[in-house]
Amino acid sequence: MADFPAPADAVTEYAARAGWPAARTPAPRPETLAMPLRARVEALLSGELDAGTWRDEESRWTDHADARYRACVHRAAADAGTPPVRVGVKDTVDVAGFPTGLGLRFHRHHARASTPAVAGLPGRYAAVTAKVATTELNIGVGSGCLNPYAPHIDPGGSSTGTAVSVAAGICDIALGTDVLGSVRWPAGQCGTVGLRTTHDPALLDGVFPLSPPMDALGWVTRTADDLGYLWPLLGLDRLGPRQPAPGTPRIGVVAEVDGPDGTCGPVMRGALETALAHLESAGHRTAEVRLGELWEMRGPAWELCGRQAWDAYQLWRPWLNTELHETTRTALEVGAKVGDDRYAWILERLHACRRAADALFDSTGTDVWLLPLDPCPPPDVAAAGAKTSTIPSPGDPDYDRRVAYTPVASFTGLPALTLPVARDERGAPLCVQLVGRRHGERTLIGLARRLESAVGDLGFRPS
């Protein structure tokens, strides 16, 4: 009778074949990935960097990084080649040739057409190389990803894989969705740069709807300089009209963050002061701005999202036919409590606030509003894992803190960009956000590049 291997030997052999030890041990990034993005792309296009070398080094690193940080749910076939710019797409956004899973364990569909944002990517420069992780239906808690720069820090909201794939060096730019901060939070908590674009329903074909009045595309890159380089190269500036860029944008510092419902802690106030000092040193004029009702509608924005998610759930649950995570159900139940009269009032105020936002920029003579990303530093993994719902409910003991600051851009439909300007004692990124005029993405990117240059290298590297 043949001898059988002991279980420990069989497991050890399997782990070695699967590369588990390497996946759990930090490995140095290959030189091709350590190069500045612009330099790498130009070297590939000119032939100075051999395409085969790039493909082999990138493939080995992506295998390692995805095993370690768990950002991807699907990757392009190896024989598809490796483009100069690798694009990741959130798994609630349709891309032809990839399944869409919506963050659910037991669902997938196969779209025949890609969402417009990626359908027009110039093939010479870029291609979608991965679908990346998300939480259930954009509202569940937890994606299974690990924060590459600060593993003890929660990697953030529903577009988690969008940020993690970029921070891990798996993608150069990744597309997510931002309803109430779903791109800005993970981008900020992973030490990357996140841009919520202007709300534009025409760009949302093939994007799973959560709250149609606030749904928006969002992009994540490693740095503001990378975003500025890729914005025209990939034709991302074709996605909507352009707001003329002012010569030297005037900055409005949002006053309400220091008010009784602002709840801005000293650490994030320090990050705001850091950004403000750099901008003033660069010659930007600053002024205090009070947002008034735009600020007060941050809580109702969450109610709107919850109610619309609940209404949508009544329609799509027969199609999806899958059991939802407890945290997803809890978030939906928050929306179910928003009555019809309250819902109608919030929608009416949304339209009024969008008109008021445009007028407020004009009346204050400002081009960009500056405020912290959040009232508090990023939470650690344990604290984030204790959450039972991503949607705060009026009456929660920490309601004012959880309502936070990201809904300012969401409720008004404005573009907003977040970037790190410091680190706390845990090594966690401390971020500010810049909110711009409608279709003012170029202004935000340019301002972020200057701020990033002034701040300098904060030392974020995959750990």
Q: Would residue 16 count as lying in a domain?
A: no
pLDDT value, residue 2 = 61
Greatest CA separation found in the chain? 89
Residue 309 has pLDDT above 70, yes or no: yes
Pairing between β-strand 416-423 and β-strand 429-436 as defined by DSSP bridges: antiparallel
Confidence of residue 26 (pLDDT cuts 50, 70, 90): low
* Banded model confidence at residue 23, pLDDT cuts 50, 70, 90: very low
42, pLDDT greater than 60: yes
Q: Is the pLDDT confidence value at 50 over 50?
A: yes
At position 439, the amino acid (one-letter code) is: H
Does the pLDDT at position 27 exceed 50?
yes
Domain that holds residue 212: 29-455
Give the three-state DSSP class for 182: coil
Instruction: Evaluate whether 200 touches 168 at the Cβ level (below 8 Å).
Output: no
Mean pLDDT of 298-322: 92
Q: Kind and range of the H or E element at 372?
A: strand 368-372
Whether residue 177 lies inside any domain: the answer is yes
pLDDT for residue 240 is more than 90: no
The phi, psi pair for 76, rounded to 5°, reads -65, 150
Does a structural domain hold residue 5?
A: no
Residue 129 lies in a domain: yes
In a domain, 12, yes or no: no
For every residue of 314-363, DSSP letters joined together read HHHHHHH--PPPHHHHHHHHHHHTS-HHHHHHHHHHHHHHHHHHHHHHHH
For the chain, what is the domain count? 1
Residues forming beta bridges with residue 207, ordered by sequence position:
93
Side chain identity at residue 56, one-letter code: D
Q: What is the CATH number of the domain that holds 309?
A: 3.90.1300.10
Who has greater pLDDT, 258 or 414?
414
CA atoms 95, 217, 133, 41: torsion sign: positive
Distance, in Å, from the CA atom of 222 to the CA atom of 205, rounded to the nearest integer, reads 26
4 — pLDDT class (breaks 50, 70, 90): confident
Average pLDDT in the chain: 92
Q: Is residue 253 part of a domain?
A: yes
Model pLDDT, residue 306 = 95
| Dihedral angle, C-alpha 250, 255, 256, 258, nearest 10 ° | 130
Is the pLDDT higher at 393 or at 5?
393
First to last CA, the chain: 48
Q: Which residue has the higher pLDDT, 407 or 237?
A: 407
Please determine, for residue 273, whether its predicted confidence score (pLDDT) is greater than 90.
Answer: yes
Residue-level pLDDT at 418: 98
Place of tokens 């931002």: 178
Question: Which residue in 376, 181, 162, 398 sits closest to 271, CA to CA?
Answer: 376
- Structure-token pair, residue 416: 């907003």
Name 254's bridge partners. Answer: 289
Residue 195 inside a domain? The answer is: yes
Residue recorded with tokens 């204790």: 386
Which structure tokens are listed for 12?
């050890």
The per-residue pLDDT for range 441-454, each reduced to its tens digit, is 999 999 999 999 99
pLDDT band of 237, cuts 50, 70, 90? confident
Poorest-pLDDT segment among 11-25, 90-104, 343-357, 420-434: 11-25
Which of these ranges, 118-127, 245-254, 300-309, has the smallest mean pLDDT? 245-254
Give yes or no for residue 284 having a pLDDT over 50: yes
**Residue 294 covered by a domain:** yes
Alpha carbon distance 324, 312 (integer Å):
14
Per-residue pLDDT at 330 exceeds 60: yes
**Residue 140, pLDDT score:** 86
**CB neighbour class for 445 (10 Å; exposed up to 12, middle 13-18, buried from 19):** buried
Spatial distance between the Cα atoms of 177 and 214, rounded to a whole number of angstroms: 10
Beta-ladder partners of 369 = 252, 435
Mean pLDDT of 35-53: 95
pTM given for the model: 0.94
Could you read off the pLDDT of 341-383 as tens digits, one per residue? 999 999 999 999 999 999 999 999 999 999 999 999 999 988 7
pLDDT reported for residue 268: 96
Q: Mean pLDDT throughout 52-58?
A: 93
Residue 108: CA atoms inside 13 Å, Cβ hemisphere, count?
A: 11
Measured CA to CA, the distance from residue 435 to residue 185 in angstroms comes to 14
